[in-house]
Amino acid sequence: MWRETAGRAERIGGVPSATAGLPNRVATRRAAARRPDDQADATRERRHRLWQRGVAGGRRWLFLMPAIVYVCLLFAYPIVYNVLLSLRQSSVIGLLNNSAGFVGLSNYHTAITNPVLPTVVENTALFVVGSIVFQFGIGFLLALFFSQRFPLSGLLRSLILVPWLLPGVVTGLVLRLMFDPTSGMVNQILSDVGLIHTPIEWLTNTHLALLTVVLANIWIGIPFNMLLLHGGLQDIPKELYEAARVDGAGRARTFWSVTVPVMRPVIAVVLVLGFIYTLKAFDIVIILTGGGPVNSTQLLSTWAYTLSFGNLDFGQGAAIGTIMMLISLVCALAYVRSYRGELRR
């Protein structure tokens, strides 16, 4: 889509330009655009030309500076601040006096030996793995399904995106109603088909609450997975399927021998992004259960919030936040690697 526009702009911009030799270069670059491998070279060459002419000048930094300052002030500084906070005494009085001294890793020690921690880690693991497996699986099936040609497929596919586009508070509220014991649709349907006779307390039963929160998060995550995987499926050259057909491969064989290998970089990106986003999940849990009942849906993210703003123990909250950040960072590096692989393709 983007490239098409660039092509249009090029046609329109190329005509009135007075620069000598321009049409020739445009033609060269059009040819290059047809060969993706050469396009990167063409881009590099073009930039290099510009560099040599010195057109850019020293003032080009002025365009980038605000963003660099902004990212330093609003990402780098808070991240460092968070780490420092996690190393300071966390008592309320100490913080109020602004005299909180450094206490080394004591906040980490307190957090790790906190009797709630095993529950929180287990909840987070179940939440992340359960969400990703089903978001990805269902998302992939839907992406395959919507790759077929049938009327209205584009419109219906974009309608599936709705749960993903809604604000977290809205999805949280809507799902809280769905699972409400009396006004909810889930219990209504289950009792209509005779599966249950007394209403199920989906969100207030300690054994069911986590399952319910995972179900809710799966619903939110399916569209995102479907969107990216569908995009990847569209980029698979049709010739590959033709070749598989000629070789007499069945549908399952084609899927495992053509679709999956070709899609591997996309699948990697989807899974890593899914992990990072699921680990960050916050709104939906706070709205649905607030981490309760009795911490049965408490995740690392909501626990960091509860420790900080509920118990006013910012040191411990920051320690949990730092641990989350480290987990995310490891994944981010994996993400960047797969992203780069994606670009090279």
Partner 1 sequence: MKSGAPVSNGTEPMRAGPIGPPPGAPRARVVAGLNLVAALVIVGLMLLPLYWAVVTSLKTLQQSYAIPSSLVPPTPTFAAYSEVLHTQGGALATSLVIAVGATLLSLLIAVPAAFALASFRFRITGIVTLVLLVTQTIPGIVLGISFFKIFADVHLLNSYPGLIIADSTYCVPFDILVIRAFMIGLPHELIEAARVDGASNLGALLRVVVPLSRPAILAAALFSFLFAWGDFLFALTLTTSDAVVPMSLSIYKYLGEYTSQWPDLMAAAIFAAIPSGILLVLVQRGIRGGIATAGLKG
Is 117 one of the binding residues for partner 1 (CB under 8 A)?
no
Task: With CA atoms as reference, report the closest residue to 277 among 223, 234, 319, 315.
Answer: 223
Binders in 257-286 for partner 1, by CB under 8 A:
258-259, 276, 279-280, 282-283, 286
Residue 209 Cβ vs partner 1, minimum distance, rounded to whole Å: 16
Query: Residue from 177, 195, 196, 260 that binds partner 1 (CB under 8 A)?
Result: 177
Binders in 202-221 for partner 1, by CB under 8 A:
219
User: Which value, to the nearest 10 degrees, does the dihedral of the CA atoms of residues 164, 165, 169, 174 take?
Assistant: -60
Q: How far is CA 85 from CA 64, 68, 81, 98, 220, in A?
A: 30, 24, 6, 12, 33
Residue 130 vs 163, nearer CB to partner 1: 163
Binders in 239-258 for partner 1, by CB under 8 A:
240-241, 244-245, 248-252, 254, 258
Query: Residue from 151, 193, 194, 197 that binds partner 1 (CB under 8 A)?
Result: 151
Retrieve residue 138's tokens: 């269902």
Retrieve residue 47's tokens: 């930039």
| Nearby residues of 146 by Cβ (< 8 Å), 6 or more positions away | 153, 156, 157, 226, 230
Distance, in Å, from the CA atom of 319 to the CA atom of 309, rounded to the nearest integer, reads 14
Question: How many residues are listed for the chain in this entry?
Answer: 345
Is 163 one of the binding residues for partner 1 (CB under 8 A)?
yes
Residue 276 Cβ vs partner 1, minimum distance, rounded to whole Å: 5
Residue 336 Cβ vs partner 1, minimum distance, rounded to whole Å: 6
Query: Residue from 117, 190, 233, 268 that binds partner 1 (CB under 8 A)?
Result: 233
Residue 224 Cβ vs partner 1, minimum distance, rounded to whole Å: 13
Binders in 124-143 for partner 1, by CB under 8 A:
141-142
Query: Residue from 35, 137, 145, 231 that binds partner 1 (CB under 8 A)?
Result: 145
Query: Measured in whole angstroms, how far is the alpha carbon of residue 270 from the centre of its chain?
Result: 8
Block residue for tokens 């703003």 = 309
Binders in 302-331 for partner 1, by CB under 8 A:
304-305, 308-309, 314, 317-318, 321-322, 324-325, 328-329, 331
Q: Per-residue x/- marks for partner 1, 65-94, CB under 8 A?
A: -xxx-xx--xx-xxx-xx--x---------
Count of residues engaged in binding partner 1, rule: CB under 8 A:
131
With beta carbons less than 8 A apart as the criterion, state whether 323 and 300 touch: yes
Query: Residue from 22, 112, 129, 196 that binds partner 1 (CB under 8 A)?
Result: 22
Binders in 28-57 for partner 1, by CB under 8 A:
29, 43, 46-48, 50-51, 55-57
| Nearby residues of 213 by Cβ (< 8 Å), 6 or more positions away | 127, 284, 285, 288, 289, 297
Residue 18 vs 93, nearer CB to partner 1: 18
Q: How far is CA 112 from CA 118, 124, 140, 210, 227, in A?
A: 9, 15, 37, 22, 38
